[in-house]
Chains A and B, each alone.
Chain A
Amino acid sequence: MASPDLIMYDEEFQLIKEIISRLRVDANAKIVFLVDKNGQQIAANGDLESVDTTSLASLTAGNVAATDGLARLIGEKEFSILFHEGEKDNIHISIVGQRVILVVIFDDRSSLGLVRLRVRKASMELEKVFQDLLKKVEVEKSNLASGFESPFAEITDEDIDNLFSE
């Protein structure tokens, strides 16, 4: 496989939720969420009722992927920050640890300067959590090799057929 599966455990999930919740308050933002580069939403915080976060996640990842493509075309490694300015709401997108995307949606109660400042600090914290998470996944994998059973090891054809029986 090209890239290892992303696996999330409870401990890191709580840490991540804490960091983005704090970021939302510190940056005076409406919504903060975290997406994997492939478009899977990892965590979100804020006024989530007002938006379709699944669509937001997939479009953000598409946006970042297209921008990455543009960067490479002109000889840049990546554009690490994207900013979309609207009439009322703005979106600030940044890449954390080359793997995940941090999205902050804010209006005129905040400012681009404040968001950038707070995002920088939160990014460093998030990067550390993801590094630890990757290490943990490696350890779990070696446990797996020494006999630890994955919950999916025993998926049966019947389990899968049941998913489609309506």
Chain B
Amino acid sequence: MTFINYAAREINCKIVFYGPGLGGKTTNLQYVYDRTNSNSKGKLISLATETDRTLFFDFLPLDLGTVRGFRTRFHLYTVPGQVFYDASRKLILKGVDGVVFVADSQRARAESNVESLQNLDKNLKEHGYDLATIPYVLQFNKRDLPTAMPADEMYQQLNIKGEPTFEAVAPQGVGVFETLKAVAKLVLLELKKK
């Protein structure tokens, strides 16, 4: 749900990073935070456990500049990936404008990716959204690991509608901004249709 403020000439959009536990959603946000100059970002909030696992969400507000005279602000959220946090995950999808699915490339995590994708589909439907129509981008993270599956194989398993797909190594920033840019673009193009 985009918030368009004609009075303040601002557009606010919400983007959610979804995916299995330990897949690198928080690392994506951390990299964006580290590489954005301080004028255009807010505080990175992590509601995490003592062992740095996401408990509720991470949140990063990002100011991308103006488009057609409107300041565009993106609110980036991650969800907790661990299976048993489903109730929290569902809450965070409320009012989402665009979704990034961060898949873990390791073969041992292939099943978790599929499970998490099914979970995303189910939770979106409960909010009245459809994965088939919502702005959506896929990321294969951890491409640098020796146990990474071939990208083609992952594409076949996880790509559902020909959505933009990126290979990434989030701690080094490979593919991180490309992914973010792609989803931001889809969200803004969606505004055009309304």
Contact = CB atoms under 8 A, between A and B. Distances in A.
Contacts of B185: 157, 160
Interface string B64-95: 11011110100101000000000110011011
A164 B177 CA distance: 9
Contacts of B128: 1-3
Interface string A63-81: 0011011000000000000
B158 to A, nearest CB: 24
Interface residues of A, number: 41
A55 B75 CA distance: 10
A154 B68 contact: yes
A58 B6 contact: no
A58 B5 contact: no
Contact of A160 (B12, B42, B67): B67
Nearest to A14: B7
B3 A62 contact: no
**Interface footprint category on B:** 35 or more
Given A38-B14, A38-B95, A164-B177, A6 B184 contact: no
Given A55-B59, A62-B91, A160-B189, A38 B42 contact: no
A2 to B, nearest CB: 3
Interface of B is mostly: mixed
B9 to A, nearest CB: 9
A80 B185 CA distance: 37
B56 interface: yes
B127 A155 contact: no
B14 A163 contact: no
Nearest to B67: A159
A5 interface: yes
Given A10-B6, A55-B45, A58-B45, A152 B191 contact: yes
5 contacts: A9-B7, A69-B87, A150-B191, A150-B192, A164-B181
A8 B5 contact: yes
CB-CB nearest 9 A-B residue pairs: A38-B95, A2-B128, A13-B7, A65-B91, A10-B7, A8-B5, A40-B3, A152-B191, A163-B64
